[in-house]
Amino acid sequence: MTYQLTIHSVFERLESWYGDGLVIDAGLGIRRTYAEFCDRVRRLCTVLVDELGVAKGDRVATFSWNNVNHLELYWALPLVGAVLHTLNIRLFPEQVRWIVDHAEDKVILADPLLAADAPSPHVLFDDLDRLVEKAEPMRAFPPVGEHDPLGLAYTSGTTGDPKGVIATHRGTWTHAMGACMADSLAISESDRVMPIAPLFHAWGWGMPYASAMTGAEIVVHGRDTSADNIGSIIERERVTVAGAVPTIWKELLPLARAGKYDLSSLRLVFVGGSASPRSLIEAYRDLGINYTQVWGMTETGPIACVANPRRGVDDVLDYTGTITPGVEGRVVDGELQVRGPWIAEGYYRVSAFEDGWLPTGDMAEMEPNGLFRIVDRAKDLVKSGGEWISSVELEGLLLAHPDVRDCAVVGVRSRKWDERPVAVVVPESPGSAENGGVTLESLHEFLGTKVAKWWLPDEVVTVAEIPKTGVGKIDKKAIRNQLSHLELP
C-alpha cells in the first residue's frame, strides 16, 4: 500500500499499545508512564499552535539538556508539522546566534537551567509547563506528509560555517525501524534505553524515536554526564541499552572494574562519535558487556553502520562494521559514500548532494562482503613523503597505552617529508609525563611492533585537555592552530 511514513503512526502506536511503559528523567526525578507522557505531548501541541502561533514548516529551536521536557518537544513539534531544531548548547554564543539567524527560527524554547546562556528572545520550559497544565489535548493533528521536514540539526562547522541537516518524517521513521533490526541495535519492548549522547546532537542518535517504535522505556540523565552519575543511573534504573562517545565509557571503566556500580543490566553499549580503541572494547567485553561500535554522521540520520558479528569473520573489531540494511555504501577514490532512505538529501538552503550519494569525507577500505574500516577523515590523514598515515589508527593504539588518558594525532609541517605525525597526549595522571610515563621514547617502544617505523610520531606534546568540538569530537582544527608554530626537520 501507499502509506505515509510520518512520525504520527509511531506516536499513536506508543500511546495505544505501550501506555504502561516508563519515561524516566533521572536528573529531575520525574517518572511518567507513556500514557501520561503522550497526554502531555497532545496538550503541548495545543500550546504550540494556540499560544505560540507555531505553524507547519516553522523552525522551532530547543536549547536544552537531556530531560523529559526536551523529549516532549521531540514529539509535539513534528506532530503539528513544525521542524524540531536542536541547538548545540556547547557552542559559543556567536555561533548559536549565527545558526538561529540562518535557520530563521520562529521560537526558541529553553531549559531553565540554561536561561542565562539561551539566545533571546526565548520561552522557558517552566512557562510551557504552566500552559500545558491548563491546555486541552490536541485530538486531530494537522496533515503532514512523509517528505516534510521533521528535524533540523547543524554540523559542528570545524571546516567552515555550520551546515544545517534536514531530517524528514520518512527518514526518521525508517531510521527508527533500522535501529530496531536484529542486525542493528535490536531495540525492543524489553529494553530500557538511555541516550547519553546529547539530544541536541543528531537527534539523540535517533533513540527517542527508535525506542518509541517498539515501546522500549527511555531514561534521560539531565546535565550530569560524570562517570559516577551515569554508573549510578544505569545501576538504579537497570538500563539495558546505552549510547555515548568513547570518552564516557573510558571514564566509567575503572569504576566498573572496581565494582562500584553494577552494570550487569546492560546488554548493549553502542559507541560512536569517534573510533573506540580495541583495548576499551575488549575491557568491557571482559566485564560481560557487549560494547559495539556504530558509525554515522548527522547527515546519515545518524546511524548507518553497526559492528555486529559476521558469519565467517573471526574478529570484527578490526573493522568499523557493516553498512546497516536499508543503506547502501561504496568507496570512490578512497572516500566512503552512502545513500538510503534516512540519508540527508542535502543541506538546508544548499543544493542536494551530487548524484544522490552523500560524500562522507571519511577515507575507507571495503571488503567484498560489505565489512569496511574507516582509515581516517580525509582532512586528517598525515601525508608523509608521499605516503599516507592514519591519525585514527595511531590514536586507537595510543589510547591503549597505560599512561595515556586521551590523545590526538595531527600532521605538522616537515621540511623533508611535507608532514610528520605529532601525538598530543593527556597523561593518565598529572605527574606521569615527569616520571617518564609519557615520553616520545615510551610511545615509540609501545608502538614499535604495531605500526611501520615511518608511522611513529616525531614529537609528543603533553596537554591537560584535548580540544573538543561542541559535539564532543576531537577538534583537530584547533589543535593544528595551536601547533602552527612547529616545523619539523
Contact present, 174 and 150 (Cβ < 8 Å): no
Cis peptide before 302 (omega within 30 of 0): yes
Task: State the Cα angle at 90 between 296 and 178, rounded to 5°.
Answer: 25
Q: 395 and 269 in one domain?
A: no
Predicted local distance difference test score (pLDDT) of residue 393: 87
Predicted local distance difference test score (pLDDT) of residue 40: 98
Distance CA 392, CA 406 (A): 13
Predicted local distance difference test score (pLDDT) of residue 448: 86
How confident is the model over 356-369, as pLDDT tens digits?
899 998 999 999 99
Say whether 388 is catalytic: yes
Say whether 299 is catalytic: yes
Domain containing residue 447: CATH number: 3.30.300.30
Distance CA 333, CA 287 (A): 40
Predicted local distance difference test score (pLDDT) of residue 203: 92
Provide φ and ψ at 371, rounded to 5°.
-65, 135
Residue 428 — very low, low, confident or very high, per pLDDT cuts 50/70/90? Answer: confident
* Cell digits of residue 427: 597523561
Predicted local distance difference test score (pLDDT) of residue 83: 98
Chain centroid to CA 345: 20
Q: Which residue is catalytic, options 388, 439, 459, 473? A: 388
Distance CA 392, CA 1 (A): 45
Residue with cell 575488549: 282
431 is a domain residue: yes
Show the domain range for 331.
7-373
Mean pLDDT over the full length of the chain = 93
79 is a domain residue: yes
Q: 452 and 353 in one domain?
A: no
How, if at all, do strands 59-63 and 83-86 pair?
Answer: parallel
Q: 344 and 435 in one domain?
A: no
Give percent above pLDDT 70 in the chain.
97
Query: Which of 15, 27, 28, 125 has the alpha carbon at shortest distance from 79?
Result: 15
Q: Is the pLDDT assigned to residue 158 strictly greater than 60?
A: no
Domain count, the chain: 2
Give the end of a domain, one of 322, 346, 373: 373
Distance CA 150, CA 148 (A): 6
Q: Is the pLDDT assigned to residue 429 strictly greater than 80?
A: no
Q: Is the pLDDT assigned to residue 81 strictly greater than 50?
A: yes
Distance CA 165, CA 153 (A): 5
Say whether 17 is catalytic: no
Q: 362 and 392 in one domain?
A: no
Task: State the Cα angle at 246 between 447 and 388, rounded to 5°.
Answer: 45
Distance CA 52, CA 241 (A): 36
Cα torsion angle, 437, 440, 444, 445, sign:
negative
Query: Which of 338, 373, 374 has the alpha carbon at shortest distance from 356?
Result: 338
Q: Which residue is catalytic, options 299, 393, 395, 419? A: 299
How confident is the model over 167-199, as pLDDT tens digits?
999 999 999 999 999 999 999 999 999 999 999
Please give the full DSSP string across 45-93, using - where no structure is assigned. Answer: HHIIIIIT---TT-EEEEE--BSHHHHHHHHHHHHTT-EEEE--TTS-H
Q: 297 and 181 in one domain?
A: yes
Predicted local distance difference test score (pLDDT) of residue 431: 62
Q: 298 and 156 in one domain?
A: yes
Contact present, 125 and 64 (Cβ < 8 Å): yes
Predicted local distance difference test score (pLDDT) of residue 47: 98
489 is a domain residue: no
Q: 424 and 342 in one domain?
A: no
Predicted local distance difference test score (pLDDT) of residue 314: 86
Q: 423 and 290 in one domain?
A: no
For the purposes of burial, counting CB atoms within 10 Å of the CB of 376, is it exposed (0-12), middle (13-18) or buried (19 or more)? buried
Q: Which residue has the higher pLDDT, 351 or 329?
A: 329
Predicted local distance difference test score (pLDDT) of residue 273: 82
Predicted local distance difference test score (pLDDT) of residue 265: 98
Among the ranges given (42-46, 233-237, 272-276, 323-327), the one the predictor scored with the smallest mean pLDDT? 272-276
Q: Is the pLDDT assigned to residue 54 strictly greater than 90?
A: yes
Q: Which residue is catalytic, options 56, 106, 260, 383? A: 383
Predicted local distance difference test score (pLDDT) of residue 416: 86
Give percent above pLDDT 90 in the chain.
76
Per-residue pLDDT, averaged over 239-267, amounts to 95
Q: Is the pLDDT assigned to residue 102 strictly greater than 70?
A: yes
Distance CA 459, CA 420 (A): 9
SS (H, E, C) 10-43: HHHHHHHHCCCCEEEECCCCEEEEHHHHHHHHHH
For residue 301, how many C-alpha atoms fall within 13 Å in the half-sphere facing its CB? 31
Distance CA 148, CA 12 (A): 19
Contact present, 170 and 145 (Cβ < 8 Å): no
Give the end of a domain, one of 373, 395, 420: 373
Contact present, 395 and 450 (Cβ < 8 Å): no
The DSSP call for residue 472 is: S
Q: Is the pLDDT assigned to residue 339 strictly greater than 70?
A: yes
Say whether 357 is catalytic: no
Q: 443 and 459 in one domain?
A: yes
Task: State the Cα angle at 244 between 243 and 247, rounded to 5°.
Answer: 150
Contact present, 382 and 389 (Cβ < 8 Å): yes
* Cell digits of residue 404: 595515556
Give the end of a domain, one of 373, 400, 432: 373
Q: Which residue has the higher pLDDT, 86 or 245?
A: 86
323's CB contacts (< 8 A; 6+ apart) are: 304, 305, 329, 338, 370, 372
Q: 421 and 367 in one domain?
A: no
Predicted local distance difference test score (pLDDT) of residue 465: 92
Q: Which residue has the higher pLDDT, 438 or 112?
A: 112
Provide φ and ψ at 141, rounded to 5°.
-85, 155
How confident is the model over 403-415, as pLDDT tens digits?
898 999 999 999 8
